[in-house]
Amino acid sequence: MPQRKDVSTTGPSGRGYARRIAAALLGGLLLAGCGGRVAERNGARVQAIAITSAEFAFAPAQVRVRANVPVQLTLDNRGLLTHDLTIDRVGGPGWLAGLVGHRVHVEAGPGSRAIATFTPTPGAYLFYCAQDRHAIDGMVGILIAAD
Ligand SMILES: [Cu+2]
């Protein structure tokens, strides 16, 4: 199991955090597949995706989904700590995607799962774990919604 490092021992200014976000963004933009399957459920279209959390990463950290189709996101927490998946704003129109919209927040205790449902408009959305300093320790990812 990876050891959790204190930020003060890993250097100033969260450089690792910035690097991980950059890597997640780049990876997400290069990623072609790995999206949710669009399926019919009770007559409604929905795409189911599953993201695993543990100390201190999401897998996958890059997810691609179809825009304007409801996403049913399962957070499968295989860690020893409580983790969550948070997107600050999702669902805004056009230029405003990621600037307005509603917050997605799903939290799961150790060894449990939780489900969030939301409908993304086209855009790239940073997701992170809002627990303590988990995002700084690496729990960040990118969700790309495209037509
Ligand atoms: Cu966490």
Q: What is the pLDDT of residues 50-66, one digit of tens each?
A: 999 999 999 999 999 99
Which residues are CB-contacts of 82 (< 8 A; sequence separation ≥ 6)? 107, 108, 109, 110, 131
- 113 alpha carbon to ligand 1 midpoint, in Å? 13
pLDDT confidence bin for 8, thresholds 50/70/90 = very low
- 9 alpha carbon to ligand 1 midpoint, in Å? 20
Judge whether residue 67 has pLDDT over 90.
yes
Q: How much is the pLDDT for 27?
A: 56
> Would 76 be classed as within a structural domain?
yes
> Would 13 be classed as within a structural domain?
no
Closest by Cα among 139, 129, 130, 119 to 72: 119
- 131 alpha carbon to ligand 1 midpoint, in Å? 5
Q: Output the CA torsion sign for 79, 132, 57, 38.
A: positive
Q: How much is the pLDDT for 39?
A: 72
Judge whether residue 45 has pLDDT over 80.
yes
> Would 12 be classed as within a structural domain?
no
> Would 28 be classed as within a structural domain?
no
Count of the separate structural domains present in the chain: 1
- 121 alpha carbon to ligand 1 midpoint, in Å? 26
Residue 80's domain comprises 36-146
- 55 alpha carbon to ligand 1 midpoint, in Å? 7
Closest by Cα among 103, 20, 92 to 62: 20
> Would 30 be classed as within a structural domain?
no
- 54 alpha carbon to ligand 1 midpoint, in Å? 7
- 114 alpha carbon to ligand 1 midpoint, in Å? 14
Q: What is the dihedral of CA 42, 118, 144, 107, to 10 degrees?
A: -110
Q: What is the dihedral of CA 116, 63, 139, 75, to 10 degrees?
A: 30
> Would 102 be classed as within a structural domain?
yes
Q: Which residues lie near ion ligand 1 (Cβ < 5 Å)?
A: 83, 129, 131, 134, 139
> How far apart are alpha carbons 39 and 99 in whole angstroms?
29
> Would 24 be classed as within a structural domain?
no
> Would 68 be classed as within a structural domain?
yes
Q: How many residues does the chain have?
A: 147
**Stretch 12-16: mean pLDDT:** 53
Task: Please tell me which residue, 1 or 77, carries the higher pLDDT value.
Answer: 77
CATH number where 42 lies: 2.60.40.420
